[in-house]
Amino acid sequence: MGCEEIHFGPVWFIPGVNRGRYPYCHSLYIQGPGIIIDPASDEKRLLEIRDLEGVNEVWLSHWHEDHITYLDLFPGAAVRICRRDEPPLGDLEILLDWYNLSEPHRDHWRQVLTETFRYRPRRADAYLTEGDVHSFATTTVQVIGAPGHTPGHLAFYFPEQEVLFVGDYDMTSFGPWYGDRNSSIEATISSLRRLREIPARTWITGHDTGVFTDNADERWRRYEDIIHQREANLLNLLARPHNLQEIVAAWLIYKKPREPLAFFEFGERALNVKHLDRLMEKGLVVELNGRYVQA
């Protein structure tokens, strides 16, 4: 259905700049209670909504920087997030720790987060908890725990509209991200399967895809399959021993070198480390003197 603004009654899909691709995301607005979910879509449109409709609360699906960029537009709004995802919201150094960043990448990201993403420490005023049901005059929102991408990642289901906002399980061809210190491949797979079972008719993603109403089962299957294909590619590479830097240089995740390296090398390393840990737990890979090889 694309990335134009769409209203499902009181549930508004607010498309992000450049189809919500990083460093932007898509937002939701709930008319009535005046709630913005993930305010990093389009600054101009968010300001219009704030000034014409009103924003009383900001809900966050998770803590990542590309979902909080315009949080500073709503200084008087109450902020809600899952308790497990709150620490990076209030402390930039904790945010960098949660990405497992070290120098010089840490210094690069400190500047980017402050300047590009307008990071300012913010504390939650209240928490969103898995299983919560928020009933408003205009709609009902069910809060669904979907950890893996982050430990406290949330999805939101609107049963009257049969709309499911899946956040950063975004159905892109790149596939899921689970490279943070506290991310988990196993939890990601479990969350994908949980979300797949929710009886929605419309799905809204945090990036790129936007809104879709068709081929949901196939989309979920293809998205999960990317995880397994990444792991198969890594296992094939490790038919011969490789150290971590050699694995990163193979560009199994991004397929080719990309700039800026501070971003893409970090991502390549982070995701491959998660898969190495998983393969070693399964007994399929062993580490010998800093080199990894099939067991």
Write out pLDDT tens, residues 210-247.
999 999 999 999 999 999 999 999 999 999 999 999 99
d(CA 12, CA 161): 11
What pLDDT score was predicted for residue 1?
46
Quick one: fold of 6-214?
Metallo-beta-lactamase; Chain A (3.60.15)
Domain ranges of the chain: 6-214, 236-294
- Each residue of 9-42: pLDDT tens digit? 999 999 999 999 999 999 999 999 999 999 999 9
